Amino acid sequence: MWLLDETKMEQAGKALAACLRVGDVVTLSGPLGAGKTTLARGVLRALGHVGEVPSPSFAIVQPYDELPLPLTHVDLYRLESPDELVELGLEDAQAAGALLVEWPERAGASAWPQALALVLSIEPDGRRALTWGVPRAWEGRWPPPRFRP
């Protein structure tokens, strides 16, 4: 577990960006305000995105195709059923780059079994705690050995 403030959250995103490959999925779970979009912003900036990184809450899918590693930032908060995933085109986005998926629990328990599962929580002192579940596909890549927030 890492305890992070906003600056360290973006640094964690930068460390994550260095680990990403085509076909990867990273899920971001946690309550509203835990820092999921802040972490995603760190990933996107590390991959070379310049400009705003809005939360994709209303658009649901926000592609960043211009990056060296195309990244699709997804927010499933407004999904009412896992059946709605088919309409989002995420399989094509995953085949072309990587996915960052906020609120993955809305997709159902069987979605993305090989995803790196990051979980953010809010500590009593206001810092964010970052914990993770590492599937076989991510072993040796996460957590990065040199990153110590």
Q: Are 134 and 24 in contact (CB under 8 A)?
A: no
Task: Confirm whether 142 is domain-assigned.
Answer: no
- Summarize the confidence of residues 46-67 as an average pLDDT: 90
Q: Are 116 and 135 in contact (CB under 8 A)?
A: yes
Task: Confirm whether 107 is domain-assigned.
Answer: yes
Length of the chain: 149
Task: Confirm whether 66 is domain-assigned.
Answer: yes
Task: Confirm whether 90 is domain-assigned.
Answer: yes
Output the pLDDT for position 47: 97
Task: Confirm whether 121 is domain-assigned.
Answer: yes
Q: The whole model's pTM is what?
A: 0.93
- Summarize the confidence of residues 27-53 as an average pLDDT: 93
Task: Confirm whether 96 is domain-assigned.
Answer: yes
Q: Tell me which DSSP letter residue 127 carries.
A: P
In terms of Cβ atoms closer than 10 Å to its own Cβ (0-12, 13-18, 19+), residue 88 is: middle
Output the pLDDT for position 138: 93
Domain boundaries, position 34: 2-137
Domain of 86, CATH number, reads 3.40.50.300
Q: How many domains does the chain have?
A: 1
Task: Confirm whether 79 is domain-assigned.
Answer: yes
Task: Confirm whether 146 is domain-assigned.
Answer: no
Measure Cα distances from 17 to 22, 30, 44, 85, 141 in Å. Answer: 11, 20, 8, 24, 11
Per-residue pLDDT reduced to its tens digit, 68-78: 999 999 999 99
Per-residue pLDDT reduced to its tens digit, 61-117: 999 999 999 999 999 999 888 889 888 989 999 999 999 999 999 998 889 999 999
